[in-house]
Amino acid sequence: MGIARRKTGSKHLLICDGRGTPLEPIKTAANVNKVTQTLALVEGVSPVAGHPGRPRQCPAALLGDKGHDSNPNLDELRKRRILPAISRKGAPNIRGLGKPRYVVE
């Protein structure tokens, strides 16, 4: 008997702040690639208040794994003045990147 590989399901993607507070969740089909949802997560972040003055409209930096690596996404993040800290496919992992990411994972 073969294994049914095309099962229905869902994938939950989440963008959080540096303390692990969820900012924007997205639910997609299980077979949707993460790289296609990177910008949607960033766009969904609402302004975060807390400090005096105008709230930030976008994050200062974005930490991600190799599943979010694509040149068009990196270029778009830089255009928005967001520093991408995303490991490149085929390259060694960025040293120390896992520690701040594991707050959520």
Are the C-beta atoms of residues 77 and 85 closer than 8 Å to each other?
no
Distance CA 92, CA 36 (A): 23
- 33 lies in some domain: yes
- 5 lies in some domain: no
Q: How confident is the model at residue 2 (pLDDT cuts 50, 70, 90)?
A: very low
Q: How confident is the model at residue 76 (pLDDT cuts 50, 70, 90)?
A: very high
End-to-end CA distance of the chain: 35
Quote the domain boundaries for residue 29.
10-47+58-101
Are the C-beta atoms of residues 97 and 63 closer than 8 Å to each other?
yes
Helix (H) / strand (E) element for 14: namely strand 10-16
pLDDT, tens only, 23-64: 888 888 888 888 888 888 888 887 766 677 776 677 788 888
With a threshold of 0.75, does the pTM exceed it? no
- 23 lies in some domain: yes
